[in-house]
Structure 1
Amino acid sequence: MDLRKSCHVQKFDGKDTKHRTLITAANSKSNSKANSVEPEQLIIEEELSSNDDDNVRQLTPQEKVQDTKLIPSDNYHKYCYRHNPDVQTNKASDFNKMNEIQLNLERIPSKDQNMINSIWSNFGSANSFQRNLILQGLLTQCCFPQLSFISQEISSLIRIDFISTLPVEISSKILCYLDCASLCNAAQVSKKWQKLADDDRVWHHMCEQHIDRKCPNCGWGLPLLSMKRAREFTVETNKQTKRRKLSSSSSGSSSGSFGSSSSGKPEFKTRPWKTVYSERFKVERNWRKGIFKTREFKGHKDGILCLKYDHKYLFTGSYDTTIKMWDINTGECLKTLESHQKGVKSLVFDEQKLITGSFDSTIKVWNYHSGECISTYRGHTDSVLSVDFYKKFIVSGSADRTLKIWNVENRTCYALRGHLDNVNSVKIHSKSLTVFSGSDDCTIRMWDLKTNKCLKIFKGHIAEVQKVIPLNLPEDYELSQDINEGDEEEEEEGEDELSEDASEFGTIDYNDSTREYPTYLLTASLDNTIKLWNVKTGKCIRTQFGHVEGIWDISCDNFRIVSGAHDRFTKIWDLQTGKCMNTFSGHNSPVTCVGIGDSSFASGCDTGLVRLTNFDIM
């Protein structure tokens, strides 16, 4: 008797074959009962007088009909998972198993075949409760070899393709918990899984979890790349706009142009979130594995003192008294700005202006698009070593031991005194309207831009502080710490100094909702170390060692710190752990300045060479 029976005909190995179930033809009338679950059976099983519980209330016929209407009529509620015609999982494996059983059945005597068929027939015609009784009885009679055989057989039979079976919303929610590698593996399971795993909502969640922040689960964070992509998008949009204008002018009064919506607004193409994630993932992988290409910028006649760059321009200041403006993508020198009488020690810029500080004690504001010097600020009595700006304020630090706050709107200037030596670095924290300064007196000070008072002093470095960077990190951003007794003692000394001259110092109101103070402070010094401070407590919570000579400059983003030192090396550090990720050589003189972007970093040295190391390569 052929057991390979089925209720439908399907093509297998190039032939149409009628599959037969393991139940005989005499049991065909019970197939629907064996393969499906009747709604009435879901509500109440057949009455078994010997097993009925007297305390169980029987449903009335009216209640049965009423409850049955509440049961959906789709196949997922009518059939069990294995016999649901809408589920195609394991159909091929079931067919192969049927063939194997049929061949084994044909090898035994006819009498034994009839006995086995009778058992299968009785089991197939039994209801759910009776089937459970039969199976329980069989299991009690099985020895360990049979139980082991059953365990091996059911391991594959009880697998459920829940991703394909569940509603799309729930499946997408489950896939959102996977990491990138697991999600890509899931897309290779089947076409249905691929469609769900490549869904834009799933990858949008992945981007939200990783881009410009570290994922707490996998530890990966992806670069933002926003400015570069925005520029590419703007260029493409401008081209499309020009094409539309030409098309509309040539077509006269024709209604609607190519690439425009019915409302007249241009239709912008969107990119799949998986593509967005993929390109950022490749950049982050290159950062970690050290895969990069380098471009050199040569043109200065003397050493580089400072640099800043964005997605389009690189600005460098030099001992040769000039500022050069470079095309970041081609390496071409676009402009040379000349007006300072001595070396240019510091510079900052935005989309409209460039501000520079020089050893000639002046601060200059430039329109770098035209190359014109707009204004010059004089007031310091010695070299201007650092400048920064925010809205109407320009802050400068000088070798005359003072900071100056320049208000460009009302043309006023305030001097902040307190440092005992050169002020090498100043940085405005815009969210709290505070200024941080680092000095040759080995201290860092925090100032209030509103009151012009010192709020806090940070002590811990044993040599000149060259750079300060305030950080606003999320609360769930866990930083490794290595607090020691020396830092605590030094902090106590700073507190004593504040208590002695309390009238000269302001207070910090952390409950002020209008001001968001930085959570951490990053500093670099000629004592060869980088320190991380808790701004609220004033404690140094981590010291990073690695350079063998003094550190001249550092720069950082949400993931990494780049440092340049007198030992001619540039190092990349993990901001979260403080560990050195990579060390770059290439300069044959001290590295005096560095800068970092989403997919690159730049370094300048005493010989006048600037190197841009780019990780955005595919």
Structure 2
Amino acid sequence: MYNAKSSIADYSDRLKQISEFCFDAMFRGIKHQDETCDKPRSSNRTLSGVTANVSNEVNNLPVCLQRRPSSLPKNWRHKFQCDDARNLSASPADFKAQKRLSATQSYVERATGHVQSVPDASPITASGRESTQGMSTQLQGLAFLAPDTIALKIFSYLDPVSLCQASRCCYSWHELSTDSYLWKSLSCRKPYLFSPSLLNSLIIKYTKNDTGEISWRKVFSEQYRISSNWRKGRCFIKEFSGHSEGVSCIQFDDERIVSGSFDTTIKVWNIGSNSILLAQTLTGHSKTVRCLHLSGNRLVSGSKDCTLKVWEMEKKENWSSIACKATMIGHSDAVRSVDVCGERVISGSYDCLIKLWDIKTGACLNTLRGHTAPILCVQSDDDKIISGSADTCIKIWDYSGSCLQTLTGHRDSVACLQFDSKRIISGSFDWTIRVWDINTGEHIRTIDWRTAEGHNRAVRCLQADDQRFLSGSDDKTIKVWNIETGERLVTLRSTGYGITCLQFSDTRIVSGSYDNKVLLWDFTV
């Protein structure tokens, strides 16, 4: 490859000058063929001619690209081939410009160290313009004038499809486009970047045991396939049937799915098999199980019997066990929502109260009062608690019990919410999803069925990550949204009844509905 000591800016200017010259030679001042010529020319013939103006532009090339006395054989003569020479007219200036263009092309081939068969140009049309066929082939050598590091930097700005197309142009571009640096950078770029756990699992999968080398191209290929499946709604659906009444809440991890039902039971399913024979059933609540939270081997459940239970799930290679470790009593009505932050359990109830519990002892640590109607959803982090209620309000609390802010705007009960460092997303029985600024409380946007392809029934469940959020509704659909713009990405339709609960990861969605079934939507297919 051509070895130069110039700076990156010098190479950029040089490439720009070369490309401008080639495009001018391709599109301007070319003598067109007489319309009376009845035999087409073959695509491997030289240009029929260029205008005298091109020769002036050749002189403006960098010194290293200008024709030198020793660059061509002394006895070189340009032979002008055509099927009907009588129909062509070319001036001495045309031949001179053509000669210099050929010299430039010859220099590019020698600089790259690759002998490429590059056709000069495709036939000239009767309208006086040259076809673009073969243009990309003529310009292939231009990228080789830069060192590998600069060429890789240029290639790093390509999207995956363009990078794959570039790899098919020639051998040298193929070598550049398969460099691990390019595919590693794509693997860490949105929207292909998922959670660290998925990336780590793919790295382990595509690491060669003998050399320890990571095939980043295969890693990215897997990420791209999963991302494409999400965009197109392409997935495999697996049904888990076993509850005798509707499914009210759901949680899952890499190995199991936990579902709570109106039949008062909790079932733990093996995520790899939907056989009821492999499912474990937890009995302990006397009424509908309304909420669940799974973290590691610890499960917390809330019920209409006004209690919360903490379950310890232990799994070994040949056996597993589940035991109730604590029961929390304090609410006077149904426990509708639960969240866990560290060693604290936060519960919201139909008695309009939010309670904080010690997860080890089961003791009530604090009670938050302020809502005037049943509390339907709570979520927390290390600093704050956010709750939604049937009084149509969203409240932000600190752990001392002080209400920091109240958000109003929904016209019906706030059934679900999620928040991160920037925003709060809430879903309501008024069929809308609203996005709020978490710092100022300002309303950012409303997603409804009239203006944003939203739901046309009550929105019952939400979950979000750093790229998208999902919503489930009584209209039997799950919708996937861009978290930054609110754009609908895809709609997944259930064949059963309305969606009551959902949770998702990088590769799966698990949902429950009133038809007693749990559905696993797998996007790795």
**Cα distance in 2, alignment partners of residues 268 and 225 from structure 1:** 26
Which residue type is aligned with residue 82 of structure 1? S
1:441 aligns with 2:391: yes
Q: Which residue of 1 aligns with 2:318?
A: none
How high is the TM-score relative to the length of structure 2? Answer: 0.71
**Alignment: residue pair count:** 408
Q: Map 1:499-510; keep pairs closer than 5 Å.
A: none
Deviation at 1:326?
1.1
- Give the one of 392, 395, 401 matched to 1:452: 401
1:339 maps to which of 266, 281, 284: 284
Give the drift of 1:534. 1.0
SS, match of residue 209 in structure 1: coil
**Alignment deviations for residues 232-258 of structure 1 (CA, whole Å, 9 cap, x no partner):** 888999xx9xxxxxxxxxxxxxxxxxx
Aligned to 2:503: 595
Pair 1:92 & 2:62 matched:
no
Distance 1:156 1:613, change over 3 A: closer
Q: Quick check: 1:395 aligned with 2:322?
A: no
Report the Cα distance in structure 1 between the residues aligned to 2:129 and 2:205, rounded to whole angstroms.
67
**CA pair 323-194 structure 1, distance change in 2 beyond 3 A:** same
SS of residue matched to 2:279:
strand
Q: For 1:430-480, what per-residue CA distance to the aligned partner results, in whole angstroms no more than 9, with x for missing partners?
A: 4xx21110001100111112x331111110011111111002xxxxxxxxx
SS at match of 2:106: coil
1:187 matched to which residue of 2? 167
Q: Structure 2 residue aligned with 1:330, among 273, 277, 290?
A: 273
CA distance in structure 1 between the partners assigned to 2:129 and 2:478 by the alignment: 63
Letter in 2 for 1:525: S
SS at match of 1:415: strand
- Shift in Å, 1:548: 2.1
Which residue, out of 461, 467, 471, partners 1:559? 467
Work out whether residues 337 and 377 of structure 2, in 8 Å CA contact, stay in contact via their aligned partners in 1: yes
Once the 2 structures are TM-superposed, how far is the Cα of residue 155 of structure 1 from its aligned partner?
8.0
Please tell me the residue identity of whatever aligns with 1:200: S
1:383 aligns with 334
Residue among 383, 404, 428 paired with 1:525? 428
1:429 aligns with 2:381: yes
**Contact 1:223 1:599 (8 Å CA) reproduced:** no
Q: 1:549 aligns with which of 457, 461, 465?
A: 457
- Alpha-carbon distance in 2 for matches of 1:564, 1:160: 51
**Residue type matched to 1:591 in 2?**
I
Go from structure 1 to structure 2 and tell me whether the alpha carbon gap of 1:157 and 1:318 turns closer, same or farther (over 3 Å shift).
closer
* Cα shift readout 1:295-319 (whole Å, capped 9, x = no counterpart): 0010111111100122221110011
1:445 corresponds to which letter in structure 2?
K
Q: Say whether residues 1:463 and 2:463 are aligned partners.
A: no
CA change 1:357–1:270 in 2 (3 A) is: farther
Instruction: Render the CA deviation track for 1:81-104: whole Å, top value 9, x for unaligned.
Output: 73474535665348x99xxxxxxx
Give the Cα–Cα distance (whole angstroms) in 1 for the partners of residues 295 and 143 of structure 2. 49
Which residue of structure 2 lines up, in the alignment, with residue 407 of structure 1?
Answer: 358
Q: 5 Å matches for 1:187-586?
A: 187-210=167-190, 221-222=191-192, 224=194, 226-227=196-197, 269-332=212-275, 333-369=278-314, 370-408=321-359, 411-430=363-382, 433-449=383-399, 451-471=400-420, 518-545=421-448, 546-586=454-494
Secondary structure of the residue aligned to 1:571 is strand
Is the 2:111–2:145 Cα contact (8 Å) retained in structure 1?
no
C-alpha separation in 1, matches of 2:205 and 2:104: 57
Residues in 1 aligned to 2:360 and 2:177: alpha-carbon distance in whole angstroms:
55
Match of 1:326, SS? strand
Q: TM-score normalised to the size of structure 1?
A: 0.61
Bigger Rg, structure 1 or 2: 1
The structure that is strand-richer by fraction is: 2
Aligned to 2:404, what secondary structure does the other structure show? strand
Moved more, 586-595 or 277-286: 586-595
1:284 offset after TM fit, Å?
1.4
Distance 1:385-1:171 versus aligned 2 partners, 3 A rule: same
Superposed CA deviations along residues 559-614 of structure 1, whole A, max 9, x for unmatched, are 33322222333333332332333333334333211112212222211121111122
- Structure 2 distance, partners of 1:173, 1:149, is 34
- Residues 471 and 478, structure 2, Cα contact 8 Å, conserved in 1: yes
Instruction: Note the alpha carbon deviations across 1:375-426, whole angstroms, 9 max, x for none.
Output: 1111111111111111121111111111111234684510000000111111
Aligned equivalent of 1:163: 143
CA separation of 1:177/1:150 partners in 2, compared to 1, >3 Å: closer, same or farther?
A: closer
8 Å CA contact 1:603–1:610 kept in 2: the answer is yes
CA distance in 1, matches of 2:322, 2:417: 30
Equivalent pairs: percent with the same residue? Answer: 29
Q: CA deviation at 1:557?
A: 2.3
Name the CA shift for 1:157/1:575 in 2 (closer, same or farther; >3 Å): closer
Kindly indicate whether the alpha-carbon contact (under 8 Å) linking 1:424 and 1:440 is maintained by their aligned counterparts in 2. yes
Indicate the residue corresponding to 2:21 in structure 1. none
Output one character per residue of 1:470-509: Cα deviation in whole Å (capped at 9) or x when no partner: 02xxxxxxxxxxxxxxxxxxxxxxxxxxxxxxxxxxxxxx
Point out where structure 2 has 5 or more consecutive residues left out of the alignment.
1-66, 73-102, 122-127, 315-320, 449-453
CA-based RMSD: 3.3
State the AA in 1 paired with 2:523.
F
Structure showing the higher helix proportion among its residues: 1
